[in-house]
Amino acid sequence: MLVCNNSNYTIRYSEHLSLVEITWHGYTLSEQLHDGLKHVAAVIREKNALYLLVDAKRLNAMKASDQTWIKNNFFPELSASGLKKLTRVTNTDIFTQVIVGDFVKLVQENEKISFDLQSFYDRDDALEWLLNDISLSANTL
C-alpha cells in the first residue's frame, strides 16, 4: 500500500509482512531527511510494523549532524516503537560503508536499542534477511 510519494521519497506499507519501506529518490537536504525519517517513524507506530527497509542507494552522503540526529532521535524512536529489524540498501562507496558501519556498531553495542540492523547492496538480499523471521515462524506452525 502506497503511504506517501513525493519528490524526496516514497513510503510503502505491507500489512501481511508488517513491513514499512522508504525509498529515497536522490539528493536530500537535512530538513528533508529528518522529515522523511519522522514520517517513517510515524507510519511504523501507526501500523505497529515490525520491519523497516530503507533503500538509500540514491541518497546523498549524510553530514555528521544528520548522523548524530539519527543516532539521538530516529533510532531511539524506532526502538520505542517495537521495531524488530531495520535493513538499509546502500551503494558500495567507501564513505557510505563507513557511515553504515558506524550505525551497525552503535545498534549492536547500545543496550537501549532493541532492533537489529544490517546493510546490503542488493534489495532482494536485504528483504531475505529482514523477513527471515516470518519464514521461520511459518515453518514452525
- pLDDT tens sequence across 82-91: 999 999 998 8
Q: Is 11 a residue whose pLDDT tops 50?
A: yes
Confidence of residue 60 (pLDDT cuts 50, 70, 90): confident
At residue 100, does pLDDT exceed 70?
Answer: no
Q: What is the pTM of this model?
A: 0.86
Domain boundaries, the chain: 2-140
| Per-residue confidence (pLDDT) for residue 81, from 0 to 100 | 95
Long-range contacts of 111-114 (CB under 8 A, 24+ apart): 112/76, 112/79, 113/75, 113/76, 113/78, 113/79, 114/79, 114/82, 114/83
Whether CATH 3.40.50.11260 fits 2-140: no
Neighbours of 140 (CB within 10 A): 6
Confidence of residue 141 (pLDDT cuts 50, 70, 90): very low
Res 14 pLDDT > 50:
yes
Q: What is the rounded average pLDDT for all residues in the chain?
A: 86
